[in-house]
Amino acid sequence: MSLTYITLATDKKMPLVGLGTWKSSPGQCIKREDIFITSKLWNTKHHPDDVEPACRKTLADLQVDYLDLYLMHWPMAFERGNIMMPINEDGSVRYADTDYKDTWKAMEKLVEKGWVKALGLSNFNARQIDDLLSTVTHRPVVNQIECHPYLNQSKLVDHCTKRSIVVTAYSPLGSSDRPWARPDDPKLLEDPRILEIAKKYGKSPAQVIIRWQLQREVVCIPKSTTPSRIKENIEVFDFILSEEDMQQIDSFDCNGRLIVPTIVRDGVRVWRDSSHPYFPFNDSY
């Protein structure tokens, strides 16, 4: 596979590997003209009146005239305002009841204004995607979801592909620097089964994982602020994993979701937002 881009339903091309930026410091990333810029609408900005100002702020912050892709970060709306995490003393979040379909309608106006080239979703499950598709004018072209060998999302990837929605894998390397990682959590990049495949191809574990995603036509956004790793993570177009090794990596799935905020409720650690009517992970995919 020599493709470095995938074609979205808008006919625009999107790179198959992107640069994740969470936890990067200002000035550590690269120039606008070199990159396909994706940004997201945060949960406190779902009210239709808040969408345009939120996007305008992002354009101003980034000092650009347009975004290549603008995603709704989560289907869930949080309390309106400028407090990014409207949290109560017990750690629970104050929600809002905005329907993501109303938010989407407001996002569609951004395309019409030329502020964004394409719209997409993040953390939407299959049912929510279909619910949204029933009302859209501008279709979502991407769904950005957690995806790696421990959570391969094969059913959701298949669901998206059938609807011409490209899947972008976030935390593709297992997000080892996620703030809540515990010492005894499994470390994807140190998994002996991945190491064995990497050795066979003379590649690094990260390269094997990224290559596995590309061969299943899933875009990857591995985060790194280490120049040698950034280089390593894009040097993935000069080898091909065999079908057998692809299936072997597929078999590492253990529903191992890493990126879900949790709180302790009645002495038990639970998913913080699982009671929100639009929490996406109560469905199996």
Ligand X SMILES: NC(=O)c1ccc[n+]([C@@H]2O[C@H](COP(=O)([O-])OP(=O)(O)OC[C@H]3O[C@@H](n4cnc5c(N)ncnc54)[C@H](OP(=O)(O)O)[C@@H]3O)[C@@H](O)[C@H]2O)c1
Which C-beta is closer to ligand X: that of 37 or that of 189? Answer: 189
Q: How far is the CB of 80 from ligand X (least distance, A)?
A: 20
Q: How many CB atoms lie within 10 A of CB 190?
A: 11
Q: In angstroms, what is the minimal distance from the CB of 122 to ligand X?
A: 4
Task: List the 38-41 sheet strands across, edge first.
Answer: 38-41, 69-72, 119-122, 142-146, 166-170, 219-220
Residue 35: DSSP 8-state:
S
Given 189, 240, 246, 260, the residue binding ligand X (CB under 6 A):
189
- Alpha-helical segments (H) within 12-135: 48-62, 100-113, 126-133
**Judged by CB, which is closer to ligand X: 113, or 181?**
181
Q: How far is the CB of 21 from ligand X (least distance, A)?
A: 5
Q: Which stretch binds ligand X (CB under 6 A): 17-25, 87-95, 152-160, 191-199?
A: 17-25
Judged by CB under 6 A, the stretch of 91-99, 125-133, 152-160, 218-226 that binds ligand X is 218-226
Residues in the chain: 285
Instruction: Return the DSSP state at 282.
Output: G
Asked whether position 75 contacts ligand X by CB under 6 A, the answer is no
Query: What x/- string results for residues 107 through 126 when contact with ligand X is judged by CB under 6 A?
Result: ---------------xx---
Interface with ligand X (CB under 6 A), residue from 10, 21, 92, 248: 21
187 C-beta neighbours (distance < 10 Å), count: 14
Q: Which helix (H) or strand (E) holds 37?
A: none
Contact between 252 and ligand X (CB under 6 A)? no
**Binding to ligand X by residue 180, rule CB under 6 A?**
no
Neighbours of 224 (CB within 10 A): 20
Residue 101 phi, psi dihedral angles, 5° rounding: -70, -35
Is residue 22 near ligand X by the rule CB under 6 A?
A: yes
Task: State which residue, 125 or 224, has the beta carbon closest to ligand X.
Answer: 224
Q: How far is residue 36's CA from residue 14's CA, in Å, rounded to a whole number?
A: 7
Number of Cβ atoms within 10 Å of the Cβ of 261: 11
Number of residues that bind ligand X (CB under 6 A): 29
* 122 vs 213, beta carbon nearer ligand X: 122
